[in-house]
Each structure stands twice: as structure tokens, then as C-alpha cells.
Chain A
Amino acid sequence: MEKFTTLTGVAAPMPLVNIDTDMIIPKQFLKTIKRSGLGVNLFDEMRYDDQGREIPDFVLNQPAYRNAQILVTGDNFGCGSSREHAPWALLDFGIRCVISTSFADIFYNNCFKNGILPVALPQEQVDVLMEDARKGENARISVDLENQTVTSADGQVFSFELDPFKKHCLLNGLDDIGLTLEKVSAIDAFEQQAQQSRPWV
């Protein structure tokens, strides 16, 4: 997994609330057995018409946002299906950070497994960043994971909360499985004890 340290870039505004993972990556693209190559289908049904032509009004089709690295979104981003194809598609497009007032739990968790930082901030701060995002290339947003801050284009600094373990893994690009396998003796011990107390499992 790629590390995440700091990021300064263009943010695309997506103020719609409850953007679900079916919108982020529709099911016809889940029939892959790989993790890569999904960026072209990110937000597919909002981004292309029935003939597969780009819909010019859609934010990521606009010249200013074609290389956006940040999304600023409405409440409850990533709700619905657990498909990790959603963060895979975001990452493949080039999005490394999503800023919202709230995220659905499974999506939030999946982001950290893929080097994407989801940042939850209060409404009034998201509103400031949404305004920046609307200005396209003229208003870049900066994100600093180590210091847990987001800086708006005019220099306002907003702090965000983050689980220390998730932060550590993302900052260092760590693989969870490797870390867990360091505790394999604890897992062995748990299984032995459970074999006594709950043998039917």
C-alpha cells in the first residue's frame, strides 16, 4: 500500500448527500478479479450517458477536475455495499483523500487499506472546503496526515480526529496482515482456549 503523508491538490465538489458505493462503482464493474483499472468507471452512471459518452456537466468531466486528487462530498459518503471496488476505483482515478461530514463505516475502513485518507470535519468546515473546491484549480486544499490538519485555500487550518492505529498504518504504508501475524502466538492461544470453552465452534 502506498503511504500517505501530505497532499496538496485540486478538490472536486460533490455536495450530494448519501453518495452510495453503487454510485461510486456500479455493479457491472465488480466482475473483475483484479484491483486495478477501475478508475475509468468511477461514478460511471453519473459520468457517462447510455452511449458511453462523457456527460460534460459531471464534475470529474470538467477540465478543472480531471486530475482532482481530493473529493469534498455531502454527508454519509460511501453508504451501502461493502465493495472495496469503491476505494479501488477512487484510487485508480487518482483520488487520495475524501472530505465529508460523515462516512459509512465499511467504506471508511476500506479506504485505509488502500492508501486513501477519509477526513471527517464539521459541516461549517466542510462548507468552507466545498467553496474552495468550487473554485477548481484556483483553490488548492492541503492535507497533512502527521499533524491531522486540512488547510483551506486561504489558509484556514482545520484539525481532524483519527484512530492512531489507522494513522500509523497509512503514514507508513503498512500491511495489516503482516502486523497481525506478529501476534500469531496470541491467536494460537485464543484458539486453544476456545476449543475448551466453545468446542462446538
Chain B
Amino acid sequence: MTAPKTLYDKIWDAHVVHEDTDGTCLLYIDRHLVHEVTSPQAFEGLRMTGRKVRAPQKTIAVPDHNVPTTEGRDNPDQMPEDSRIQVAALDTNAREFGVHYYPVNDIRQGIVHIVGPEQGWTLPGMTVVCGDSHTATHGAFGALAHGIGTSEVEHVLATQTLIQRKGKNMKVEITGQLPPGVTAKDITLTVIGRTGTAGGTGHVIEYCGEAIRALSMEGRMTVCNMAIEGGARAGLIAPDEKTFAYIQGRPHAPKGAQWEAALAWWKTLSSDEGAHWDKVITIAAEEIAPVVTWGTSPEDVLPITGDVPDPESFSGGKVEAARRALDYMGLKPGQKLSEIEIDTVFIGSCTNGRIEDLRAAAEILRGQKIKVKRAMVVPGSGLVRAQAEEEGLAQVFIDAGFEWRLAGCSMCLAMNPDQLAPGERCAATSNRNFEGRQGRGGRTHLMSPAMAAAAAITGRLTDVREMMREPA
């Protein structure tokens, strides 16, 4: 009888090509996602060494970081020269090396971590990598998915493998049921607030418990997306009927007899009773509130009902870091979070740019007007955008005063023209509040789409629970 295994153990074991005596493994990679920012040097490396892409049929490329999100963007003049060169390089590389490719003018284009699941590339039990730390998103399907650097991108292109050592197992259990107004984003931020940005370093997190099971696939992707902000390269959720229902019928999902065979294996993909965990965190869903970040690290998380903390209340190096963060953010200890005024609202990103996120924001915005200087919605993909238009959500955003944009990473990292000005304060549904992340001197508060919508209406950080409609 074999020892009980975690889900991570099972996926890992199914992908080991070779193991050295010192434990260094060659791990097979089932899906390699590629975008324009971290791949040009890797393709150039292949060219210089005369190497090919080993498995172009398992490699998917899409431009997302640099692309403008305004109409008429097929016109290259919309992009500054350096962005244009990078997007053109992806175009050339994708065609020359023969990988799957969704160019800017394809309706399936979008943020790579939204496109992968949407097209059925991401499946349970797979290994998925991308030169992007938010690859953790795909873990929502029970796939082992993590970010890699450009040298590793080249390694995967050339060999379809990675040299890896196995990480540790960490379990994050969210028991019970989420209160009204509390979402997947609040779960994932609350976990990071609890464990810190290094809490998951060296580990793969498996999220489990009743509150996780109750989440939609969209919500599960939001949770796994930010595993990296907790320090874990990968987050996982065991696949279940919701997962299978989401996948079935997608363009690259298995069909017919292969679907049945896949399903039989996928159903074995959960952690065994008695499996070993190196670290366990348990949080009661009932204790989770709608949260926002106040500082410049994703661990700087507090319930919206809280106050800006005093740096002296921390210990060690965090005292100085918190002091620096408050200075950068223009905040004072003791200030009520719900009184912080907002200039800008950004709804989008690989964390919260899916249809369910847009529905949640539109629900709050219906019939309302924004009080902030500017607000934009950037759907995660062209297909999300089309669906939102079909459901009438786009009109809700437009009527409220939001800009309705084309798909891309946009203001999450501000590599395209969507940027904050110095001192501009933004309620954002993205994943990082680092200094300068959304533009030099820009001030980011992370939150859920519903909370961002609430802030848009009042012009300040707002407890969305005060705005929720009474159930009919």
C-alpha cells in the first residue's frame, strides 16, 4: 500500500521524467503559456543555439501586458515604439516557431491566465507554466501551475521540461460559509494578511474547506491567482463537478472517449486522508470581512471597518517598511479606512477580470453614477467582453460613468498607456499594491470588484455591505 499523498504529490509524481540521487527532478510540462514581455530573450536564445520548440502544440502565445485597451488598437501607432517592438517580436516568434497564437485582433485574445482556462488549455492534473508569476491562477483546476523566469521559459521551449526540486505541502482551509458581501478576493487577501507575503515560500498551497468548495471556478481562480502574493509559487484546488462542468465543451477540452478517460483520472485528483502537510492554516469563513489594503505590500490587509495602523504596532523590519508605506500612500495612523478618498477605480486583471467579477461590480453600479475622477473596466479577454455586452453589463458600466475597454493587463501593472499619475489614488481589483506598480507615485488599494464598485459610487473606500440591495 502506498503512503497517502496530497494532490500536489500526485501531480508531481505523474510528471517526473527523471530524478537524480540528490532529489533534483526533471519535470514534464503539459502546457506552456507565453506572453510578449518575458519571452523575446528566450526565443532569441533558441535562435542563437539553433534549437526548436519541442512541443509547439502544447505552447500557447498571447500578447497582453503591453497592448492598449482603447479602440483602434490594431493600428500599431497606438503603441510606443518599445511596446510595438515587443508585441511584434511575439508575433514573429509565434509564427516562426509554430505555436498556438491569439493575436491582438483575435476576439479570443486577453490576459494569458484568462485565455488558458477559457479555451480549455488548462485541465486538471496538468503541469502549467508561464513566464509570469500569476500562473498560479490555473491551480484552480487542480493543475500544478507556477511562474518561471525567462531562462526557464527557454528551457521549457527547448525541452518541454523544467529542472525542479519538490516543494513542501501547505494546506489552507476555509471552513463554513462566507457572509454576504464577502468574496473570493476577500478570502485570498485575508489569507495573505494572516500568513504574510513570505508565509508560503517554498510551499505549494492547497486551498480547501466548505467555503472554497462553494466558490465558482471564477472565484477559485481569484483565490489561486494570489497564492504568489503569499509567497507560494503555486496554489491548488482539487477538481470537482464544478470544474468538470466548466471545462466540458471548451475548444481544447478532451471530447468523446478521451473525455471519459480524462474524467476518470481527474476524479482521483484530491489529497488522500492522512496525507502529510508541512504547514496548515485554518480560517473560519464567518470571520472574513470585506477587506482592503492600506500599504504597499499585499500583506497590508485590513477589514474595511478598520483604521490605518500605527507602524510602531509592528515588529522588526516591518516597522520601517510600514512607515515608508504610509509615507508613500499619504496616510496617517488611526485614519479610518472608510474615509480614504479615491481618485480612480480599476476593475480588471487576471485576478478579477472574469465575467463573474464584472457581474458583481455591475450589480452594485446598476442605476448609480460614479463620484471618482475616472473609472475603467478592462475585461480579461475579448470573450469576457463580448459576454458582458450580451448580458447588458457593459451598458451598466457605461451608464455609471465607467470607460469600457478592450482586453489586456492594463493598469494592473501599467505597461501600456493605462497608468496612474503621481499621488493618484486607485481602488483596484488587481493583485499588487507595490510602490509604482500602477504608475510612478500611484497609490493602490486592493479589493474585490464589488468593493471597487462601491468606492466608485461614493468616492471613498466603502463597505460594500452598506450598499447591498435587500433580497427580493
Contact check, B149 vs A84: say whether CB atoms are below 8 A apart: yes
Q: Which of A13-21, A63-71, A91-99, A142-150 faces chain B?
A: A13-21
Contact check, A31 vs B415: say whether CB atoms are below 8 A apart: yes
Contact check, B26 vs A180: say whether CB atoms are below 8 A apart: yes
> How many residues does chain B have at the interface if contact means C-beta atoms less than 8 Å apart?
80
Q: How far apart sit A87 and B151, CA to CA, in the bound complex (Å)?
A: 11
Contact check, B131 vs A187: say whether CB atoms are below 8 A apart: no
Contact check, B415 vs A164: say whether CB atoms are below 8 A apart: no
CB distance from A59 to the nearest CB of B (A): 14
- The list of the 9 closest CB pairs from A to B, nearest first, reads A200-B254, A113-B151, A17-B317, A84-B149, A110-B149, A33-B40, A31-B82, A82-B147, A84-B150
User: What residues of chain A lie closer than 8 Å to B125, measured between beta carbons?
Assistant: 198
CB distance from A154 to the nearest CB of B (A): 24
Q: Residue-by-residue, is B55-97 near A (CB-CB < 8 Å gives 1, otherwise 0)?
A: 0001000000110000000000000101101100100000000
B18 touches A (CB below 8 Å): yes
Contact check, A33 vs B41: say whether CB atoms are below 8 A apart: yes
B216 touches A (CB below 8 Å): no
Q: How many A-B residue pairs have CB under 8 A?
A: 191
CB distance from A198 to the nearest CB of B (A): 7
Contact check, A28 vs B151: say whether CB atoms are below 8 A apart: no
Those of A30-77 within 8 Å (CB) of chain B: 30-35, 45, 50, 74-76
Q: How far apart sit A103 and B202, CA to CA, in the bound complex (Å)?
A: 10
CB distance from B41 to the nearest CB of A (A): 5
A22 touches B (CB below 8 Å): yes
A79 touches B (CB below 8 Å): yes
User: What residues of chain B lie closer than 8 Å to A103, measured between beta carbons?
Assistant: 201
- Indicate which residue in A50, A180, A194 contacts B163 across the interface (CB closer than 8 Å): A180
CB distance from B78 to the nearest CB of A (A): 15
Q: How far apart sit A50 and B41, CA to CA, in the bound complex (Å)?
A: 29
Known: A26-B436, A75-B198, A106-B148. A183 touches B44 (CB 8 A): no
B413 touches A (CB below 8 Å): yes
- Indicate which residue in B20, B161, B324, B435 contacts A22 across the interface (CB closer than 8 Å): B435
Those of B207-259 within 8 Å (CB) of chain A: 228-229, 231, 233, 254, 258-259
CB distance from B341 to the nearest CB of A (A): 23
- Indicate which residue in A45, A80, A104, A113 contacts B152 across the interface (CB closer than 8 Å): A113
- What residues of chain A have their CB less than 8 Å away from a CB belonging to chain B? 15-18, 20, 22-23, 26-28, 30-35, 45, 50, 74-76, 79-84, 87, 102-106, 109-110, 113-114, 163-165, 176-177, 179-181, 183-184, 186-187, 190-191, 194, 198-201
User: What residues of chain A lie closer than 8 Å to B131, measured between beta carbons?
Assistant: 82, 84
B429 touches A (CB below 8 Å): no
Q: Residue-by-residue, is B161-198 near A (CB-CB < 8 Å gives 1, otherwise 0)?
A: 10101010000000000000000000000000000011
Q: How far apart sit A102 and B316, CA to CA, in the bound complex (Å)?
A: 14
Chain B residue nearest to A79 (CB atoms) is B197
User: What residues of chain B lie closer than 8 Å to A76, measured between beta carbons?
Assistant: 197-198, 201, 231
CB distance from A190 to the nearest CB of B (A): 4
Contact check, B151 vs A200: say whether CB atoms are below 8 A apart: no
Contact check, B320 vs A26: say whether CB atoms are below 8 A apart: no
Q: How far apart sit A1 and B51, CA to CA, in the bound complex (Å)?
A: 18
User: What residues of chain A lie closer than 8 Å to B83, measured between beta carbons?
Assistant: 31
**11 pairs from A and B in contact (CB 8 Å cutoff):** A22-B432, A26-B440, A33-B89, A34-B41, A80-B432, A82-B149, A109-B149, A186-B17, A191-B28, A191-B160, A198-B262
User: What residues of chain B lie closer than 8 Å to A45, measured between beta carbons?
Assistant: 435-436, 440
B456 touches A (CB below 8 Å): no
Chain A residue nearest to B89 (CB atoms) is A33
Contact check, A190 vs B151: say whether CB atoms are below 8 A apart: no
CB distance from A30 to the nearest CB of B (A): 5
User: What residues of chain A lie closer than 8 Å to B17, measured between beta carbons?
Assistant: 183, 186-187, 190
User: What residues of chain B lie closer than 8 Å to A164, measured between beta carbons?
Assistant: 22, 24
Chain B residue nearest to A29 (CB atoms) is B82
CB distance from A49 to the nearest CB of B (A): 10
Contact check, A187 vs B436: say whether CB atoms are below 8 A apart: no
Name the residue in B40, B151, B159 with the highest tally of chain A Cβ atoms < 10 Å from its Cβ.
B151
Q: How far apart sit A104 and B405, CA to CA, in the bound complex (Å)?
A: 34
CB distance from B314 to the nearest CB of A (A): 10
Contact check, A186 vs B202: say whether CB atoms are below 8 A apart: no
B318 touches A (CB below 8 Å): yes
Contact check, A27 vs B414: say whether CB atoms are below 8 A apart: yes
